[in-house]
Structure 1
Amino acid sequence: MSRHTDSEVVVVTGASAGVGRSTARAFGERGAKVGLLARSEDGLEGARKDVQQAGGEAIVISTDVANPDEVEAAAETVENEFGPIDIWINNAMVSVFSPAAEMTADDYRRVTEVTYLGYVYGTQAALKQMRPRDAGTIVQVGSALAYRGIPLQSAYCGAKHAIQGFTESVRTELFHDDSNVQLSMVQMPAMNTPQFEWTKNRLPQKPQPVPPIYQPDVAARAICWTVDHDKDELWVGRSTVKAILGNRLIPRRLDNYLASGGYNSQLTDEPADTDRDHNLNEPMAGDYGARGPFDKQARDQSYQLWASIHRRTLTILAVLVAAIVSLVLGQRVIFSD
């Protein structure tokens, strides 16, 4: 029996940790009813507590987004429990830190199934619920790497590029059908999430996000703002803007720059733990929370994001300042004459 009220009904994939965990909590602060999808039961229970403590309601659904039947069943469970889904956030991912020459076919297959096809299946499940009602918002959590590939992450970069193309294609179809369903993509910078503690790693040192690094709360704020403002695409962080625009203007120079500096920027000084478990095929035990091990380097704010969100206000202020300057200069000319 549905218990739907006027509060938002939200689904977040990859909700057990990282950006998904922060995003679920952010919607909980809005009083939303949140369907939490991920493989990690420990992480999902932690996310449930976060949402409830923030003021929302939550249901946990252990889901491997690489399985379309599980994703569709999860969508139906959320609708049966909370009512029509208003917002669907595709965020689940896995990756492998490795030179392409050392990757296996199974590595590429699994990363593609989760990080790309998981978004496809999530979008299809959401659209199945939203299109008949002609309402709803789907957000794809993307990356600067959707536009600019970097070394040592070929599978992940390929998946993010694929998501970008898929999203643009589906959005044009929604436009063609005059649909009121909103399909957005938020391109993220490097984030301080637990993925660097559990991602499969073939590198000689422990991996790290490419600086500058941001806290996942920054991503959550960007996602919530995108939902509220029907934004087709939002770039988060100065580094994301530089990567996307640089790839458009000087792609060959970026190739050479990344060839020389793109390796060390992803490595810490600590040797890799060759016996460490990873979550490529199975979830890690335990609750890792939203943040990773890089709190000291991570930023709590993005001035670029603030400027993007307040662009209209900044434009008005710029016009006012220009008008005041023009008036003052005009008066000086009058008095000097």
Structure 2
Amino acid sequence: MNLKSLEKQSIVITGATSGIGLTTARLAAEKGAKVMLIARNEKALRDLADEIMAGGGQASYAVADVTDQSALQAASDKAIDEFDGYDTWVNNAGGSIYGRIMDVPVEDFRRLFETNLWGVVNGSKIAVEHLRSKAGGALINIGSEVSDAPLPLQGLYAASKHAVKGFTDSLRMELEADGFPISVTLIQPTATDTPFPENARNYLPYEPKLPPPLYAPELAAEAILHCATHPEREFFVGGMAKFNSALALHLPRFYEKINESVIDSRQNSGRKVPDKRADGLYETHSELRQRGKEERFVFENSLYQRAKLHPFMTGVLLAGGTLWAVSRTKKRNDSARAKLEKGMTAALK
């Protein structure tokens, strides 16, 4: 399967006015791709499109809630009209709810699933319908490390991302079985420094935070754009995403006990919940911010991701390191053997 280089692509991104979606849109435009921006906040969309075009990029936008299939179809049609089709569709829009499952109203859970799962279903069906009518392309769905490793206090968020993973894997198999040249990728970021907790609905007695360690949103954007040009089944963003996924898979009870022991500390910012706290569950409050407001230590790079993106160079470095270590060991052994032989010769004299 051959995917176009970024400068030849048109890319559709949902949830484009905040966090990972915003970072991806800016980076894609910087690398020469045409971008169709989709979100609920028209002002933020217009400002972002103007920013990209002022910088020499190409961008258009469409106001749409991903839960509204007809609005999302209209956004797709606009991308087809203005860019003569598109090559990659990124289902990024999503949100969360903090709180113990028994304390959260069911209607809020339903709304979260409408966005996180049905938004992905809507976008995927629209994208596949277009991509299979042309020479193929890439469908990229944003899951999470909690697609494999659920967290307490975000139970329905974890459930929705499990559902996104199941849906994405099933869709991939069907498209491959039917012979369509469409790459279907699940991106699984670890905790990323975005406005994610600020935009989440909160039923906790404290203001939530993302559990450490945090990674830069640029790493997620880099992974997404890599998968737009290189067919990948899945991509873990940040080494902790892979570690947590493996731990939950192979040592599930140990993983659960760890999280139970820090249930009210690991996601606790230590700050009180502000009065009239806004969130993005039903209404948009995006402010074109890639990162969260709270100052925290953030990993700007990931050795795991560097190795994933550059496997050949990683192999060369590992091979070189191994040869160096073997050479050093041989020299030490030769030196020790020479000393021993010298000592034995002196003793025999």
Check whether TM > 0.5.
Answer: yes
Judge conservation of contact 1:12–1:88 (CA < 8 Å) in 2. Answer: yes
SS in 2 for 1:268: coil
Residue of structure 2 in register with 1:292 after alignment: 292
SS in 2 for 1:191: coil
Alignment of 1:167-316 (within 5 A): 167-284=168-285, 287-316=287-316
Alignment of 1:155-170 (within 5 A): 155-170=156-171
Matched residues in 2 for 1:138 and 1:272: separation? Answer: 38
Which amino acid in structure 2 is aligned with residue 100 of structure 1? I
- Percent identity between the aligned chains? 29
Deviations 1:179-211 (A, max 9, x none): 211001111011111232232111111111111
SS in 2 for 1:318: helix
Judge conservation of contact 2:17–2:289 (CA < 8 Å) in 1. Answer: yes
Deviations 1:32-83 (A, max 9, x none): 1111001012321232234324432111111000111111111111110111
Which amino acid in structure 1 is aligned with residue 46 of structure 2? E
Which amino acid in structure 2 is aligned with residue 287 of structure 1? E
SS in 1 for 2:292: coil
Alignment of 1:57-96 (within 5 A): 57-96=58-97
Farther off after superposition, 16-25 or 196-205: 196-205
Deviations 1:120-175 (A, max 9, x none): 11111100100121411011112101001111111111110001000110111111
Matched residues in 2 for 1:303 and 1:316: separation? Answer: 15
Residue of structure 2 in register with 1:24 after alignment: 25
Which amino acid in structure 2 is aligned with residue 58 of structure 1? A
Matched residues in 1 for 2:28 and 2:168: separation? Answer: 23
| Structure of greater Rg | 2
Residue of structure 2 in register with 1:108 after alignment: 109
Residue of structure 2 in register with 1:34 after alignment: 35
Matched residues in 1 for 2:297 and 2:327: separation? Answer: 45
Judge conservation of contact 1:194–1:288 (CA < 8 Å) in 2. Answer: no
Matched residues in 2 for 1:40 and 1:300: separation? Answer: 28
Judge conservation of contact 1:192–1:295 (CA < 8 Å) in 2. Answer: no
SS in 1 for 2:132: helix
Judge conservation of contact 1:147–1:244 (CA < 8 Å) in 2. Answer: yes
Q: Is structure 2 residue 56 aligned with structure 1 residue 55?
A: yes
Cα distance, 1:281 vs structure 2: 0.9
Judge conservation of contact 2:48–2:288 (CA < 8 Å) in 1. Answer: no
Judge conservation of contact 1:43–1:289 (CA < 8 Å) in 2. Answer: no
Matched residues in 1 for 2:280 and 2:93: separation? Answer: 12
Matched residues in 2 for 1:259 and 1:324: separation? Answer: 44
Which amino acid in structure 1 is aligned with residue 121 of structure 2? V
SS in 2 for 1:36: strand
Judge conservation of contact 2:20–2:221 (CA < 8 Å) in 1. Answer: yes
Give the alignment's TM-score, normalised by structure 2. Answer: 0.89
Q: 1:175 to 1:27 in 2, by over 3 A?
A: same
SS in 2 for 1:308: helix
Aligned length: 332
Cα distance, 1:333 vs structure 2: 5.5
Judge conservation of contact 1:210–1:266 (CA < 8 Å) in 2. Answer: yes
Q: 1:50 to 1:245 in 2, by over 3 A?
A: farther
Farther off after superposition, 116-125 or 316-325: 316-325
Q: 1:266 to 1:152 in 2, by over 3 A?
A: same
Matched residues in 2 for 1:213 and 1:50: separation? Answer: 27
Cα distance, 1:323 vs structure 2: 4.1
Gaps of 5+ in 1: 1-5
Judge conservation of contact 2:22–2:288 (CA < 8 Å) in 1. Answer: no
Matched residues in 2 for 1:117 and 1:230: separation? Answer: 24
Q: 1:208 to 1:53 in 2, by over 3 A?
A: farther
Give the alignment's TM-score, normalised by structure 1. Answer: 0.92
SS in 1 for 2:78: helix
Residue of structure 1 in register with 2:322 after alignment: 322
Judge conservation of contact 1:150–1:157 (CA < 8 Å) in 2. Answer: yes
Matched residues in 1 for 2:244 and 2:114: separation? Answer: 26
Q: 1:325 to 1:66 in 2, by over 3 A?
A: same
Judge conservation of contact 2:95–2:199 (CA < 8 Å) in 1. Answer: no
Q: 1:203 to 1:329 in 2, by over 3 A?
A: closer
CA RMSD of superposed structures (Å): 2.1
Farther off after superposition, 15-24 or 303-312: 303-312
Gaps of 5+ in 2: 1-6, 342-349
Q: 1:122 to 1:325 in 2, by over 3 A?
A: same
Residue of structure 2 in register with 1:147 after alignment: 148
Q: 1:233 to 1:53 in 2, by over 3 A?
A: farther
